[in-house]
Amino acid sequence: MSLVWLLLAPGAGGLLAWVSGGRHQNWPRWIALAVLAIDFLLALTLIGPALAPPGAPLDQTAWIMSFEKPWIPQLGISFELDLDGLSLVLIILTIALGLASVIISWTEITDRTGLFHANLLWAVTGVIGVFLALDLFLFFFFWELMLVPMYFLIALWGHEHRFYAAIKFFIFTQGSGLLMLAAILVLVFIHQRATGHFTFDYLALLGTPMGPVTAYWLMLGFFVAFAVKLPAFPFHTWLPDAHTEAPTAGSVLLAGVLLKTGAYGLIRFVVPLFPGAAHEFAPFAMALGVIGILYAALLAYGQNDMKRLVAYSSVSHMGFVLLGVFAWNTLALQGVVVQMLAHGVSTGALFILVGALQERIHTRDMRLMGGLWGAMPHLSAFAMVFAVASLGLPALGNFIGEFLILLGSFQVSVPFTVIAAGGLVAAAAYALLLVQRAFHGPESPSLAAAKPIDLTAPHLAVMAVLVLAIIGLGLYPQPVIDQVAAGLAVLQHNGAPAASLRVQFADNAR
Rg, C-alpha atoms of the chain = 22
Show Cβ contacts of residue 168 under 8 Å, excluding neighbours closer than 6 positions. Answer: 237, 238, 241, 242
- Does 26 have pLDDT greater than 80? yes
Percent of the chain predicted with pLDDT > 90: 73
Determine the pLDDT at residue 507: 43
Start-to-end CA distance of the chain, whole Å, equals 50
Strand partners, 69: 79
The residues near 201 (Cβ < 8 Å, ≥ 6 apart) are: 76, 78, 80, 134, 135, 136
Q: What whole-number distance in Å separates Cα of residue 87 and Cα of residue 487?
A: 9
Residues 353 and 84: their CA atoms lie apart, in Å, by: 33
> What pLDDT shows up at residue 101?
95
Buried b / exposed e over 245-283, threshold 16 CB at 10 Å, is bbbbbbbbbbbbbbbbbbbbbbbbbbbbbbbbbbbbbbb
pLDDT, mean of residues 74-103: 94
Instruction: Tell me the angle at which helices 306-327 and 397-410 cross, rounded to the nearest 10 degrees.
Output: 40
pLDDT band at 479 (very low <50, low <70, confident <90, very high): very high
Please tell me whether residue 72 adopts helix, strand or coil conformation: strand
pLDDT attached to residue 315: 92
Q: Which residues contact 409 (CB under 8 A, 6 or more apart)?
A: 286, 323, 324, 327, 332, 416, 417, 420
Q: Domain limits at 167?
A: 2-51+58-509
Q: Who contacts 236 (Cβ-Cβ below 8 Å, separation ≥6)?
A: 292, 296, 315
Single-letter amino acid code for the residue at 170 = F
pLDDT for 497 equals 58
Tell me the mean pLDDT in the region 416-437.
91
**Extended strands (E) in 321-455:** none
| Phi (first) and psi of residue 245, to 5 degrees | -90, -15
300 exposure class (CB count in 10 Å sphere: 0-12, 13-18, 19+): buried
pLDDT on residue 498: 46
What is the predicted pLDDT for the residue at 52? 60
Mean pLDDT of 167-181: 92
Average pLDDT of the segment spanning 481-495: 89
The percentage of residues in the chain with a pLDDT greater than 70, rounded to a whole number, is 94
Identify the pLDDT of residue 100.
Answer: 95
Specify the number of domains making up the chain: 1
Residue 508: pLDDT over 50: no
CA 375/CA 177 separation, integer angstroms = 46
Digit-coded pLDDT (tens) for 272-297 = 999 999 999 999 999 999 999 999 99
User: What pLDDT is stored for residue 60 in this prediction?
Assistant: 63
From the centroid of its chain, how far is CA 431?
A: 21
pTM of this prediction exceeds 0.85: yes
Residue 65's DSSP bridge partners are: 83
> How many whole angstroms separate alpha carbon 360 and alpha carbon 420?
37
pLDDT recorded at residue 329: 92
Task: Catalogue the long-range contacts made by 497-500 (C-beta closer than 8 Å, 24 or more residues apart).
Answer: 497/275, 497/276, 497/279, 498/271, 498/275, 498/276, 498/278, 498/279, 498/282, 498/328, 499/275, 499/279, 499/328, 499/329
Any residues with CB less than 8 A from the CB of 185 and at least 6 apart, and which? none
Predicted pLDDT of residue 473: 95
**Predicted local confidence at residue 21, as pLDDT:** 84
Summarize pLDDT for 358-394 with one digit per residue, the tens: 888 888 888 888 888 888 899 999 999 999 999 889 9
